[in-house]
Structure 1
Amino acid sequence: MPSTTMHEVPKIMKALVVLSGNRVEVTEHPVPEVREGDILVKTVAVAQNPTDWKFVDTGRANIGSVSGCDWSGFVVKTGTNVTSPRVGQHVAGFVMGSTFADSGAYGDYVRTPAELSWVVPDGTLSHEEAATMGCAFWTAAQALFHPTRLGLVEPPAKASGEEWVYIHGGSSSVGQFGVQLAALAGYKVITTASQRNFDLVASLGASAVFDYNDPDVVKKVKAAAGDSIQFAFDAVSSADAQAISAAVIALTGGKLIHVLPVNTAVTSRTDVERSYTLIYTSLGREFTYATGQHWPAVPEDKEHMVQFLKKVPQLVKEGKIKPLPVKLWEGGLAAIPEGFKYMKEGKVSAVKIVYRV
């Protein structure tokens, strides 16, 4: 089919671009070209993740790239090979920010492979809500269901209902989606959170929740699950989080996935298979950090995510997946550096900062 366009797309847009000196600034930037399998989306709302500011602060961000990962908007142009989604439809997704000049969510437009977006069903989520279902949602799905990560039963299939899964940091963005997805897959979910967020994680499907600051947390988690936990997902991955997540695994051993690289110093257990998941590999594109570290494309990671995303519209339509609580930050793209600072100072808890573009 020929390329179709909703309206005249400009050549130049406003975007939050990485500059030298570990900083970002809204500036004029080329609108990405649409390839045969791509869609171009007019962004309406974008969401913020820790990775967004960390890339800039740590020097991993490539100068001249567009910042931001999570977006929601309307399709305005499709590539010649695209039959779905259609021009005009509300879509949401995830891209790798601070890496490429032709990709990044924090701009007037975002380009993405069509198969790595999902159509938001009419009458379900607002753009602000849909934008929360990017980096954190994809990370939870990859960690829990990908065959080379935890390899759990994937919805709509169901586990027996008797197996426990431990999720560390259930009120974090990744943790909230992890709790929902594991419960949806038929597992009994045991998680940790601050006491003020106990009710929240319980409402998402957690069968038991404990305070990660409790010195007896490991003992209590193991007792609640009858020391049967074989699968754990650490959605925080600080040294303490990694240690607790390894310690709660049953004496018979098990498997543990972290969201950050494995800290080998936190546990001496050799019966726990530990690794970490990096969601950028689901995008099917090789990438190189400004620090020089290179990652090849991982086709099987992309294929898993493409198949998972096909299920998402129905899960949302049926109310089986809830978006994250939204903290709308006024000021649009220009206000994002202020939001970075707020998050860096540790002021975000159980909500997702979202901006309207």
Structure 2
Amino acid sequence: MASEIPTFMKAVVYDENLQVSVREHPVPNISDDDVLVKTVAISLNPTDYKHIDGKFGKAGSILGCDYSGVVVKVGKNVHSSPKVGDHVAGFVHGSAYPDEGAFAEYVKVPAELVWVVPANTLSHEQAAAYEVAFWTAAQAFYAPGRLGLVEPPAKAATPDWVFVYGGSSAVGLCAIQLARLSGYKVITTASPRNHELLKSLGADVTVDYHDPDVVSKIKEVTGDSLKYATDMIGEVETHRIAIEAIGSTGGKLVGLNVALQKTEFGRKDVTITEILLYSVFGRAFSIGPFHIPAAPEDRVHMAAFIKKLPQWILDGALKPIPVKVWEGGLEGVLGGLQYIREGKASGEKIVCRV
């Protein structure tokens, strides 16, 4: 199959002005520990348009993080899995490298950071939708120095509450399922139109995030005992609500906005940690003014964690999250990102077929 791989492919690439468009681009060369995947579906994330809007991308790099596809070539150190022909999915650091990025016909990825999708389970669209969302939830909950939840298949000794602000975001949809898999009770916020969806995925209690009494309602439901909170939206106000909802004995919040890491929220009894999923590659990186040092422990953790995913999918312990297929293939990416930018994606993941 390797002989059929072309030299050039179509990809969504940054130009010298950091604008993106579909153009011809070299197919990546893989190293001994990599695999090359022919992409079938890609999913879109807020980080993609934020890189464009903030001029954080690198000229000549490929946009996009999430992919699902078929392995067409493996490095010489990749012996058993994944193998050529496998349906795999994963996440890459888009917008940063000329030979890495998901919005392309081929994607290069470290073999240890892909997972093999079990046959007759998820479609390519459903598998692509899981990536940044699922991996971010897993990092927030279980990675070293984050929320510190009990990692499945182990279960919490007592069913403490976990609060997920932004339950109808893609990350929230995955976080709810993971928290239940770990044996916790879940309280979350969303628009009322998404409450039934969130309950079907395992949320015990859903609260309208527009409700002016949202904090007091969370405290009432949890008996002022909440110790664990995540903010999957990442704004000052959403952080404030999540922090205020934590019980009077204190606790932890994990958020998704490093720009807030020096913001003062007035509670010394709450530990606040901001995460950026790109740390799972174990290398230092920068996004705008923020430099993130290498965290090899994050890569070790995630490489082990995602190997559990196929069995949970087979067992039905994790359900697919809703997808909306955005037409147009790679040429449709910018339209799909605009849809997300305008806040129209709720309770669903925007996915393109390649």
The answer to whether the superposition gives a TM-score over 0.5 is yes
Trace 1:10-49 onto structure 2 (pairs within 5 A).
Answer: 10-49=6-45
| Equivalent residue for 2:276, pick from 268, 275, 278 | 278
Looking at structure 1, the residues matched to 135 and 151 of structure 2 have their Cα atoms a distance apart, in angstroms, of 13
What displacement does 1:270 show?
0.7
Maintained 8 Å contact 1:7/1:76: no
Runs of 5+ unmatched residues, structure 2: none
Maintained 8 Å contact 2:17/2:59: no
Looking at structure 2, the residues matched to 167 and 264 of structure 1 have their Cα atoms a distance apart, in angstroms, of 22
Amino acid at match of 1:299: P
Moved more, 112-121 or 20-29: 20-29
Trace 1:173-212 onto structure 2 (pairs within 5 A).
Answer: 173-212=170-209
What displacement does 1:214 show?
0.6
- After superposition, the CA RMSD in angstroms is 1.3
Secondary structure of the corresponding residue to residue 310 of structure 1: helix
Looking at structure 2, the residues matched to 275 and 163 of structure 1 have their Cα atoms a distance apart, in angstroms, of 20
Change (3 A) 1:275 1:183: same
Looking at structure 1, the residues matched to 26 and 320 of structure 2 have their Cα atoms a distance apart, in angstroms, of 31
| Equivalent residue for 2:246, pick from 230, 249, 258 | 249
Secondary structure of the corresponding residue to residue 140 of structure 1: helix
What displacement does 1:349 show?
1.2
Maintained 8 Å contact 1:242/1:263: no
Which residue of 2 is the match for residue 234 of structure 1? 231
What displacement does 1:7 show?
4.8
| Equivalent residue for 2:50, pick from 35, 51, 54 | 54
Note if 1:77 corresponds to 2:73: yes
Secondary structure of the corresponding residue to residue 26 of structure 1: strand
Which residue of 1 is the match for residue 159 of structure 2? 162
What displacement does 1:263 show?
5.8
Secondary structure of the corresponding residue to residue 157 of structure 1: coil
Maintained 8 Å contact 1:239/1:263: no
Maintained 8 Å contact 2:144/2:298: no
What displacement does 1:264 show?
5.1
Runs of 5+ unmatched residues, structure 1: none
Looking at structure 1, the residues matched to 286 and 216 of structure 2 have their Cα atoms a distance apart, in angstroms, of 42
List structure 1 runs of 4+ shifted beyond 6 angstroms.
none
Amino acid at match of 2:107: V
Amino acid at match of 2:213: D
| Equivalent residue for 1:104, pick from 97, 101, 104 | 101
What displacement does 1:136 show?
1.1
Secondary structure of the corresponding residue to residue 204 of structure 2: strand
What displacement does 1:147 show?
2.7
Maintained 8 Å contact 2:254/2:275: yes
- Identical counterparts, % of pairs: 52
Note if 1:9 corresponds to 2:18: no
Please list the CA deviations of residues 306-355 of structure 1 after superposition, one character each: whole Å capped at 9, or x if unmatched. Answer: 01011011011111112221100111001111112221122111111101
Amino acid at match of 1:216: D
What displacement does 1:287 show?
2.6
Looking at structure 2, the residues matched to 242 and 288 of structure 1 have their Cα atoms a distance apart, in angstroms, of 23
Secondary structure of the corresponding residue to residue 41 of structure 2: strand
Looking at structure 2, the residues matched to 192 and 294 of structure 1 have their Cα atoms a distance apart, in angstroms, of 31
TM-score by length of 1: 0.96
Looking at structure 2, the residues matched to 51 and 202 of structure 1 have their Cα atoms a distance apart, in angstroms, of 27
Trace 1:282-297 onto structure 2 (pairs within 5 A).
Answer: 282-289=280-287, 291=288, 293-297=290-294
Change (3 A) 1:159 1:292: closer
Moved more, 294-303 or 72-81: 294-303
Moved more, 332-341 or 18-27: 18-27
Secondary structure of the corresponding residue to residue 64 of structure 1: coil
Maintained 8 Å contact 1:99/1:288: no
What displacement does 1:112 show?
0.3
What displacement does 1:133 show?
1.0
Looking at structure 2, the residues matched to 202 and 51 of structure 1 have their Cα atoms a distance apart, in angstroms, of 27
Secondary structure of the corresponding residue to residue 331 of structure 2: helix
Secondary structure of the corresponding residue to residue 71 of structure 1: strand
Amino acid at match of 1:39: V
